[in-house]
Amino acid sequence: MEGQDYITVTKNEIMHTLNKPDSYILAIVKFKADGSHTLHYITQPFAKEPDIGKRTRNYDIQMMLEKGTRQ
């Protein structure tokens, strides 16, 4: 939704992309109030695994979008 500051990603998703970086693309769809949307693809979005005991991790949407391409 427009105005959201972060996305939540699971530890399994992060580990999958770290183990097989060429087989994972993170897609972020931003929905606008008027019903339209923008689609962003991010390859190799994560640099390190989450801390021990963490099941999810929040990422700043703007930071992630700066890494990706818009469709």
1 within domain boundaries: no
Predicted confidence at residue 4, as pLDDT, reads 80
Does the pLDDT of residue 14 top 90, yes or no?
A: yes
User: Helices marked H in 1-71 — which ranges?
Assistant: 11-19, 61-67
Give the separation between CA 39 and CA 68, rounded to whole angstroms: 10
Q: Is residue 63 part of a domain?
A: yes
Read off the pTM.
0.77
Q: Is residue 37 part of a domain?
A: yes
What's the alpha-carbon Rg for the chain, to the nearest Å? 13
56 SS3 class: strand
- Which DSSP state fits 32? -
Q: Does some domain include residue 21? A: yes
Q: How confident is the model at residue 71 (pLDDT cuts 50, 70, 90)?
A: low
Q: What's the number of domains the chain is made of?
A: 1
- Determine the structural domain holding residue 56 and report its residue range: 6-70
